[in-house]
Structure 1
Amino acid sequence: MSEGTATTTTTELTSQYISQVASDLERNIKEQERITAELTELQQQLTTLQQDHTVLVSIQQALGVPATVPDSASPDSASVPSPRKRTTKAPGTRRPAKTGTAQQPRTKKQPGSKPAARKAAAKATRPTLVNLVHRHLTEQSEPRSAAEVAEALGHAHPDRNIATTVVRTTLENLVAKSLAQRTKQGSSVYYTAADAPKPTAPTGEAQPETAG
């Protein structure tokens, strides 16, 4: 093979490699873009589900229903691995004798377990939304709408996600238990504590709220 033929062959191979690498690189970039788009969509779905979960838990607390753990989160629902099969020892073999005292494995401390336990205990002991709403009504001298109660509790407890719809459900639950009274003025609904004096027309600018 002449020198010119060898040079031509090498050039063709180099061109093929360059074309192949460029094609693979383009395919890799497109695959990254596709996976990134899917991750973004999944993250948005997860955020929406978490927000819905927070609202649903708040409604459960407002109705006095204890929080439930889904079966999928229960330890008992996890699949248990099948036991390992014991291997049959060959006849005449002996197990090696143990020398010295067996050393017990050290258990590693879970980092951050104490702060997590303290945080869970503090969350368990904090008052429920029902108690907060009822206490707020007893401290008021004038009727309050659900929007006004939600706004006041939101300022007093910024760490809690207090929605107007959940507060309205809580107020109606208190009315059903004869712990609060409902008064209607036009298209607006106002609430007072059951042991408060007979409600009068609210003074000042109050946010109107449609019944229901």
Structure 2
Amino acid sequence: MSESTTSTTELTSQYIARVTDDLEHNLKEQERVAAEIAALQEQLTALQQDHTVLVNMQQALGITKAPAESAVTPESTAVPSPRQNPSAEPSGRRRARKATASQASPAARKPAVKKPAAKTVPAAKTTQPTLVELIRRHLTEQSEPRSAAEIAATLDQAYPERGIKTKVVRVTLEGLVAKSQAQRTKQGSSVFYTAPDALEPAVAPQAEEKPEGTDS
């Protein structure tokens, strides 16, 4: 009896040690995977911010092509908890949705098909001036040169919902200068922008000041 008790005790100790090691290994693997997910989440956030800046620059340059939507939605970036049960609740929700869809009558689904409000969305977008138009209009209204930061601050105050940034305004101004739709001057280390000067005729004043001839 003593030998069998001793062997049982040794076997139990071996199982306890094995389970303890496996548990520690499992916890370390969870920490490693969580760290990788956090790093990927940071990279995704940076890419989404770059995507927003590029879309703003595309609009500032007057490109009419619709900007590409981000392929990742906020819901898809959420990190799932490792202790959730993925099989029980979703199946119940699917059954509930199927039951609700089967009970809905065709007459109740018909009003949901009509979306008259969607027709007014393109009209609202077309009436909103582009950033290029806003900057051109602002330059023509100024009597003195303005810097990109000053123009961005004025437009952002007038249109706070657009989130106008100085970097985007500066890129837009450089594009207008390249198209001869704006002039750039430099004072020291600062750069200022003005509207293009209107061409003034130089022949008319000379015609008016023509000296009178003397009779010979």
Range of TM-score over shorter length: 0.5 to 0.7
Q: Unaligned stretches of 5+ in structure 2? A: 72-104, 199-216
Deviation at 1:114, TM superposition (A): 9.7
Alignment of 1:111-126 (within 5 A): 126=128
Equivalences for residues 126-205 of structure 1 within 5 A: 126-194=128-196
Contact 1:57 1:67 in 2 (8 A): no
- 1:41 corresponds to: 39
Partner SS state of residue 190, structure 1: strand
**How big is each residue's C-alpha offset from its partner over 1:120-142, in whole Å with a ceiling of 9 and x where there is no partner?**
98667543221232233334343
Give CA deviations for 1:57-95 in whole Å, capped at 9, x if unaligned.
12211211234566x97xxxxxxxxxxxxxxxxxxxxxx
Counterpart CA distance in 2 for 1:10 and 1:176 is: 88
- Quick one: structure 1 residues 22 and 158, their matched pair in 2 at CA, closer, same or farther if it must change by over 3 Å? farther
Residues 146-192 of structure 1 deviation map (CA, whole Å, 9 limit, x = unaligned):
12112333344444443323211211222334433323323322112
Match for residue 26 of structure 2 among 21, 25, 28 = 28
Q: Extract unaligned runs of 5+ from structure 1.
A: 74-102, 197-212
User: Aligned pair in 2 of structure 1 residues 18, 108: CA closer, same or farther (>3 Å)?
Assistant: farther
**Per-residue deviation, 1:19:** 0.8
Q: Note if 1:9 corresponds to 2:7.
A: yes
- The letter of the residue matching 2:186 is K
Higher helix share: 2
Is the alpha carbon distance of 1:24 and 1:186 closer, same or farther for their aligned partners in structure 2, counting shifts above 3 Å? same
The 1:10/1:108 distance shift into structure 2, 3 A limit, reads farther
The CA RMSD over aligned residues, in Å, is 3.9
Aligned-residue offset at 1:27: 0.8
Identity of aligned residues (%): 63
Whole-angstrom CA distance in 2 between matches of 1:15 and 1:135: 83
In the superposition, the TM-score normalised over structure 1's length comes to 0.59
Q: 1:108 deviation in Å? A: 11
Match of 1:58 in 2: 56
Change beyond 3 A, Cα 1:9–1:127? farther
Note closer, same or farther for the CA distance 1:107–1:187 as it changes in structure 2 (3 Å cut). Answer: same
In structure 2, relative to structure 1, the CA distance for the partners of 1:67 and 1:28 (3 Å cut) is: farther
Deviation of residue 51 (structure 1)? 1.5
**Separation in 1, partners of 2:122, 2:3:** 78
Contact 2:55 2:67 (C-alpha < 8 Å) held by counterparts: no
In the alignment of these two chains, the number of paired residues is: 163
Secondary structure, aligned partner of 2:62 = coil
Question: Which position in structure 2 is the counterpart of 1:82?
Answer: none
Q: Distance in 1 between matches of 2:182 and 2:15?
A: 80
